[in-house]
């Protein structure tokens, strides 16, 4: 299938995947109900029936109907368990792009978005993500499970239907590895988790966007994108897959309120949403898990791409003020509904 190629000098990886599958140019959305045959069979379909949620899956000639969340293997995967077992060493280092790539369809309604679905639906999504994560970490060759959202064409989305990507890797992604190493070093030097310190510093400050009982949303001190914000658990925790149903409900409220606020504040904005999670393997460096949201309001320049130095035209304090007002208004409406 594809290969993971490493940069000549740095630890940066690039996936090179020559996918020969034909792109379906029909006007039908493969993620909409009734078009299930356009995707791989579901591994999990969540169906609401008689006040209960049933976990079903497609059979060879029968597709589950009336689902609210649906998970299946991508037809155009970034990684694959059928990847060829080929390696090469530096300077042209490569290894198989081995892994699983799942698509989680977040709503049966095409016109929904992750900024408009209900808080309850967000809770269902997070429970399904936990379920898939736990299973994936039992599989051979899975060292890290990445979870990300591409919303809008500028963010890399190929369909407007709300969905989430789950992609596994046989190694820890370099950025997560660096974050874990830095967190471990600061913990040893200062005796405190750096993200716990950040949460304490940002709570009630000029960069706070919103807070719920267990989570804080804030624009980071040194953002890589204008209007970037993070969602962090207030208490120190390293495992997303082990958070309780109460915490899931609280996080669902935070995600819905902040994405709704972002959508209302910056009309038609594309964004990427990424879960920064600890690798759930023994002896791995751990991080205080959190979610990062990158609104794409402007293109990167040579400074960002060539040097990794980020130029921001909007101060995070100003961004937090604007987003905070929109998110608090959104939250008030949601609490009234709940």
Q: 321: which 2 tokens?
A: 């003020």
For the chain, list the strands marked E by DSSP: 2-6, 13-17, 42-49, 52-56, 67-73, 94-96, 101-105, 144-151, 163-169, 208-211, 215-218, 229-233, 271-276, 290-295
Instruction: Report long-range pairs for 55-60 (Cβ below 8 Å, ≥24 apart).
Output: 55/131
Q: Is 183 left (phi over 0), alpha (psi -120 to 50) or beta?
A: alpha
Handedness of CA 280, 77, 124, 256 (dihedral sign): positive
Decide: helix, strand or coil at residue 112: coil
Give the residues across from 230 on adjacent strands.
Answer: 218, 292
Q: Per residue in 291-312, is it b (16+ CB within 10 Å) or e — as a string?
A: bbbbbbbeeeeeeeeeeeeeeb
Angle (CA) 103 113 133, round 5°? 30
φ/ψ region of 67 (left if φ > 0, alpha if ψ in -120 to 50, else beta) reads beta
Is 163 labeled as catalytic in the residue annotation? yes
Annotated active-site residue in 163, 225, 276, 288? 163
Q: Is the dihedral of CA 129, 220, 232, 284 positive or negative?
A: positive
- Could you tell me which residues are beta bridge partners of residue 150? 272
| Residue 107 in tokens | 């709503």
3-state secondary structure of 153: helix
Give catalytic residues, as residue numbers.
163
């Amino acid at each position: 299938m594809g290969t993971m190629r490493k940069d000549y000098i740095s630890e940066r990886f690039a996936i090179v995947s020559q996918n020969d599958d034909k792109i379906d140019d029909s006007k039908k959305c493969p993620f909409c109900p009734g078009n299930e045959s356009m995707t791989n069979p579901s591994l999990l379909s969540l169906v609401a029936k008689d006040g209960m949620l049933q976990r079903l899956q497609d059979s060879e000639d029968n597709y589950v109907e009336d689902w609210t969340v649906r998970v299946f293997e991508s037809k155009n995967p970034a990684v694959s368990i059928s990847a060829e077992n080929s390696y090469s060493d530096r300077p042209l280092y490569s290894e198989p792009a081995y892994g699983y790539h799942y698509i989680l369809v977040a709503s049966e309604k095409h016109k929904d978005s992750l900024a408009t679905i209900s808080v309850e639906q967000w809770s269902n999504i997070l429970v399904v993500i936990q379920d898939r994560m736990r299973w994936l970490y039992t599989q051979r060759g899975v060292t890290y499970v990445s979870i990300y959202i591409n919303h809008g064409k500028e963010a890399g989305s190929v369909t407007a239907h709300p969905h989430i990507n789950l992609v596994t890797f046989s190694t820890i992604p370099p950025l997560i590895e660096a974050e874990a190493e830095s967190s471990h070093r600061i913990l040893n030097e200062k005796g405190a988790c750096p993200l716990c310190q950040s949460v304490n510093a940002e709570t009630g400050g000029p960069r706070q966007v919103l807070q719920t009982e267990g989570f804080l949303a804030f624009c980071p001190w040194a953002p890589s994108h204008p209007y970037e914000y993070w969602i962090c658990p207030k208490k120190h925790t390293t495992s997303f897959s082990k958070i309780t149903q109460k915490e899931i409900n609280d996080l669902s409220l935070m995600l819905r309120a902040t994405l709704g606020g972002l959508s209302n504040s910056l009309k038609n904005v594309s964004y990427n949403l990424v879960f920064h999670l600890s690798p759930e393997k023994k002896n791995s460096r751990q991080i205080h898990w959190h979610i990062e949201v990158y609104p794409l309001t402007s293109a990167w320049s040579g400074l960002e791409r060539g040097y990794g130095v980020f130029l921001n035209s909007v101060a995070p304090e100003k961004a937090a003020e604007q987003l905070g007002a929109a998110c608090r208004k959104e939250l008030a409406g949601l609490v009234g509904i709940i």
